[in-house]
Amino acid sequence: MKINVLGVRFDNVTPEEALERGAQLMEQPGFHYVVTPNPEFVLAAEKDKEFQSVLNGADLVIPDGIGVIYSAKLLGTPLKSRVPGIEFSADMLAHMDKVGGRVFLLGAKPGVAEQAAANISKEYPNLTICGTHDGYFKEDAPVVQIIKESNADLLFVCLGAPRQEKFMAKYGPEMGVKLAMGLGGSLDVYAGVVERAPESWQKLNLEWAYRLVKEPKRFGRMAKLPLVLVKAVLIRLSGGMKEDA
């Protein structure tokens, strides 16, 4: 059952169910990818139909962002839970640690993925970080080749949206990985370059506010986010958008 929020179809999963689905996808033959849309993605996808179809084509679409949860509720089709991409990624790393899998980290500024790799290896000693690459490359082909040669099982793609989602959909099958996950700024968090909000802020669903305090330059980006809620109310009032099995 998918929940349609302004054209993006979300999987209605708890964090535990998301992990179970992620682990299952790694067992299935072929390439799979996970996306972690927040309200900014939803607004961008309304204007960029390629982005929208790449999001809807993902094997798992998890609601990262309290704005998505509020919108789904306003639309009359509530989602069970928020599933922050960073927490989903940590659950998947714990799973890779358990099975002794191979992980490639792609994205962020030069040096960040390496620092993230060192921290991840310390915390999950039984998995192998089989490669890293920064996210500021001009040509895709050499990077795709490096990932292919690394024989990774799981790939973190942290290039920012919509580039990371389009990259996964375009090159996924030829990279030979089992699962790719679009995870935005997660490598900055694993590297310790950016802190997550303290738990008290997370519990109050104010992670976005903490980020705004820490990075005021995000204000322009965030200012349009209430639009998602307004649009959800208007759709609900006009009796639209329920469907989607």
Tell me how far, at minimum, the Cβ of 99 lies from ligand UDP, in Å.
Answer: 27
Taking CA atoms, 4 is separated from 11, 229, 236, in Å, by: 9, 14, 12
The residues in 134-153 that bind ligand UDP, with binding defined as CB under 6 A, are 135-136
Question: Rounded CA gap, 126 and 77, in Å?
Answer: 40
Lookup: tokens for 86? 């960073």
User: 22 or 107: whose CB is closer to ligand UDP?
Assistant: 107
Give yes or no for residue 185 binding ligand UDP (CB under 6 A). yes
Selected from 92, 116, 159, 232, the binder of ligand UDP by CB under 6 A is 159
Q: Strands (DSSP E) along the chain, which ranges?
A: 2-5, 8-11, 32-35, 60-61, 102-107, 128-133, 154-158, 179-182
Determine the size of the site formed for ligand UDP (CB under 6 A): 13
User: 55 or 108: whose CB is closer to ligand UDP?
Assistant: 108
Tell me how far, at minimum, the Cβ of 233 lies from ligand UDP, in Å.
Answer: 25
User: 66 or 158: whose CB is closer to ligand UDP?
Assistant: 158
Question: What type of residue sits at position 49?
Answer: K
Tell me how far, at minimum, the Cβ of 200 lies from ligand UDP, in Å.
Answer: 21
Paired strand residues for 133? 106
End-to-end alpha-carbon separation of the chain, Å?
A: 5
Question: Rounded CA gap, 243 and 234, in Å?
Answer: 17
Taking CA atoms, 24 is separated from 45, 95, 178, 195, in Å, by: 27, 11, 11, 30
Of the candidate spans 69-77, 104-112, 121-129, 138-146, the one that interacts with ligand UDP by CB under 6 A turns out to be: 104-112
Tell me how far, at minimum, the Cβ of 187 lies from ligand UDP, in Å.
Answer: 6
Tell me how far, at minimum, the Cβ of 29 lies from ligand UDP, in Å.
Answer: 30
Of the candidate spans 90-98, 143-151, 185-193, 236-244, the one that interacts with ligand UDP by CB under 6 A turns out to be: 185-193
Give yes or no for residue 232 binding ligand UDP (CB under 6 A). no
Give yes or no for residue 165 binding ligand UDP (CB under 6 A). no
User: 91 or 188: whose CB is closer to ligand UDP?
Assistant: 188
Question: Rounded CA gap, 59 and 66, in Å?
Answer: 21
The residues in 187-226 that bind ligand UDP, with binding defined as CB under 6 A, are 187-188
Q: Are the beta carbons of 182 and 161 closer than 8 angstroms?
A: yes
Contacts of 121 (CB under 8 A, 6+ apart): 127, 129
User: 84 or 241: whose CB is closer to ligand UDP?
Assistant: 84
Task: Give, in degrees to the nearest 5, the angle at Cα 14 between 22 and 1.
Answer: 80
Give yes or no for residue 66 binding ligand UDP (CB under 6 A). no
The contact set with ligand UDP (CB under 6 A) reads 107-109, 135-136, 158-161, 184-185, 187-188
